[in-house]
Structure 1
Amino acid sequence: MTVTALAADTFDPASVVTHDPVVRVEAICKHYGSTEALRNIDLQFERGKLTTLLGPSGCGKTTLLKIIAGLVPATSGQIVVNGRAVTGPGPERAFVFQDFALMPWATVLRNVGFGLELKGMAAAERNRIARRYIEEVGLQGFEDKYPHELSGGMRQRVGIARAFAVNADVLLLDEPFSAVDEQNRRKFQEDLLRLVEMERKTFIFVTHSIEEAVYVSDRIVLLSPRPGRVSNIIDPRIDRTANPDDIRRDPGYLDVVEEIWQGLRHYAE
């Protein structure tokens, strides 16, 4: 396992070359009234990779994710996805919310297939696709259950399956595992890596957990305290063929976790 780290005090986002970028974040700034949330963010995200946005609370991780999704407008700058400037939500992007955002009156099958229903897809075809992803996230047999009949972890799996079902090019995940216990969280991380490998889409992931970021990421973007700026980019380069437990014990993995912690510890509340 090797680490590529760029020093925060000399970091220039333009120095990071990304091949075949699906998403380009160009000079993004965001203000909420007199509060400057993000300043001059330049990033690129490529296909088949998972990039994590990591930083202290209030640094603008979720704000940036929602700007990429088209859910929140930028004050200046632009987002480009597949060569087109983003002006709002679009079918090429799917968002997994921290609070699941499921329809309480709909079954698991209907929730997972809802994006396809909005596209006008015939019921038989959307149910076939929905069942495929329900199985992929380990919920086979729960198709006819309602959200209130599921655990928090199961509801989050429904949200993830719904995002995959619409076949978006870009998956945006806002702390998707924060509401589950540690055992389920580790299992979800392993499942996510399997889906990343299988689907070969562009994943942009937000978490507060340094360990989680290092474990799941091909690249980690560290944001500074508000106003959020790109302060560092780290490529963990983890050997994904290793046993998951071996990865978490690997000195290289632990060194990256410690490196990031040392960079963030003085921002901890």
Structure 2
Amino acid sequence: MVMSQTESAFADAQSLEQDIAVSVQGVSKNYGAVEALKNMSLDFPRGQLTSLLGPSGCGKTTLLKIIAGLLKSDTGKIIVNGKPVTGPGPNRAFVFQDFALLPWASVMRNVAFGLELRGVAKSEREDKAAKYINDVGLAGFEGAYPHELSGGMRQRVGLARALSVDANVLLLDEPFSAVDEQTRRKFQEDLLALVANENKTFIFVTHSIEEAVYCSDQIALLLPRPSRVHEIIRPNINRAIGVESIRRAPEYLDIVDQIWASLRAYVE
């Protein structure tokens, strides 16, 4: 059976829609007289990592919280897996910049906490938590408490907790900003492995151009408030050549320079 041009176009549109996990449609947000987001529209492809990159105060975290359902927009809507967002939901998990761990709970309890709130049986939630504790490199620390962990380890706990609830959209608000450069690079490699293996959609806020280019399938450059999308960049980095080779590759360096050229006029 041969489709007509109209049928083919409709099929293509359906396919594209199915490949979009999160759709931001005409979203605006004001804080009193401050216009944070203005008519923002942006799609996030399913199973990929999209970075939100832009000057400080351009609304990256505000957008992330609206997608999470933690803030309400003034206009527009957020569609996740084809359904409008009306508040927080189990299909989204948030990794906070400041870890947001329970200080009185062990690593195991912290990672399993979201499942505990859902009423999942203890054995089941601890089995799932143990898997993600191992996946983020914290095996052996299940019984440790947050004050006994380094900043990098606490951030890994936060990531494991988000993964364990099996949300298909993970929202990461500058999760690596509080760690040293060596740990940050290891986190970036771990994050790429999770993107490859978990079949989840990652929305990643960062201030680092190099980090965005290295980690992202898609980068959304945001302008200063009132924030809107300035440019969409798909780096298409060949990661098979290895970490150090990527960071020296002309195509990687060219994209970094391109983004800096776009943003430098907005950096105070």
Q: Structure 2-normalised TM-score?
A: 0.93
Deviations 1:34-64 (A, max 9, x none): 1100011111112110000000111100000
Which structure's CA Rg is the greater one? 2
4+ runs of 1 displaced by more than 3 Å? none
Deviation per residue, 1:70-119 (Å, 9 max, x gap)? 00110110001111111110000000000000000000000000001011
| Residues 38-47 or 219-228, more deviating | 38-47
Aligned AA (1:261)? W
Is 1:171 the counterpart of 2:157? The answer is no
1:210 aligns with 2:199: no
Amino acid at match of 2:29: K
- Does the CA contact (< 8 Å) of 1:133 and 1:161 recur in 2? yes
1-structure distance, mates of 2:60, 2:17? 20
Structure 2 Cα separation of the partners of residues 119 and 73 of structure 1 = 24
CA contact (8 A) 1:29 1:41 kept: yes
Residues of 2 paired with 1:48 and 1:79: CA distance?
Answer: 18
Amino acid at match of 2:176: F
Could you give the per-residue CA deviations for residues 12-38 of structure 1, whole angstroms, max 9, x where no partner exists? xxxxx6761111111000001111000
Kindly state the Cα deviation for residue 240 of structure 1 after the two structures are TM-superposed. 2.1
Whether the 8 Å CA contact 1:55–1:225 is kept in 2: the answer is: yes
In the aligned structure 2, how far is the partner of 1:229 from the partner of 1:19? 24
Would you tell me which structure has more helix in proportion to its own residues?
Answer: 2
Aligned residues: 253
| Alpha-carbon contact 1:18-1:46 (below 8 Å) kept | no
In the alignment, which residue of structure 1 is the partner of 2:221? 222
Map of 1:10 onto structure 2: none
Counterparts of 1:147-186 in structure 2, within 5 Å, are 147-186=146-185
Pair 260,18 (structure 1): closer, same or farther in 2 beyond 3 Å: farther
Bigger RCO (CA 8 Å, 6+ sep): 1
| 1:53 and 2:29 are equivalent in the alignment | no
Normalising by structure 1, we get a TM-score of 0.93
Asked if 2 retains the 8 angstrom alpha-carbon contact of 1:18 and 1:44, the reply is: no
Pairwise mapping of residues 36-185 of structure 1 onto structure 2 (< 5 A)?
36-185=35-184
AA aligned to 1:100 is: F
Of 225-234 and 240-249, more deviation after overlay is shown by: 240-249
The two structures, once aligned, show a CA RMSD in angstroms of 0.9
